[in-house]
Copies of this chain bind each other. A is one copy, B any other.
Amino acid sequence: MLKEYNPDFKATIKQGYAKQSFLALIGFELTEIELGHIEGRLVIEKKHQQQYGNLHGGLIATLADTVAGYAAFTAVPSGHGVVTGELKVSYFEPGYGEAVLAIGKVVRQGRKINFCEAELWAERGTDRVLIAKASATMITVQPQKTN
Residues of A within 8 A of B (CB): 16-17, 19-26, 46-52, 54-59, 61-66, 69, 81, 83-92, 94-95, 107-108, 110, 112-113, 115, 130, 133, 135, 137, 139, 146-147
Contact = CB atoms under 8 A, between A and B. Distances in A.
A3 to B, nearest CB: 15
B88 A50 contact: no
Contact of A85 (B54, B95, B137): B137
A65 B54 contact: no
Contact of A49 (B22, B69, B108, B115): B22
Contacts of A20: 49-51, 56
Interface SS of A by simple majority: mixed
Nearest to A108: B92
Nearest to A114: B92
A35 to B, nearest CB: 18
15 contacts: A17-B51, A23-B50, A25-B47, A52-B81, A57-B62, A57-B87, A57-B147, A58-B62, A58-B66, A59-B62, A61-B65, A86-B91, A90-B108, A90-B115, A112-B112
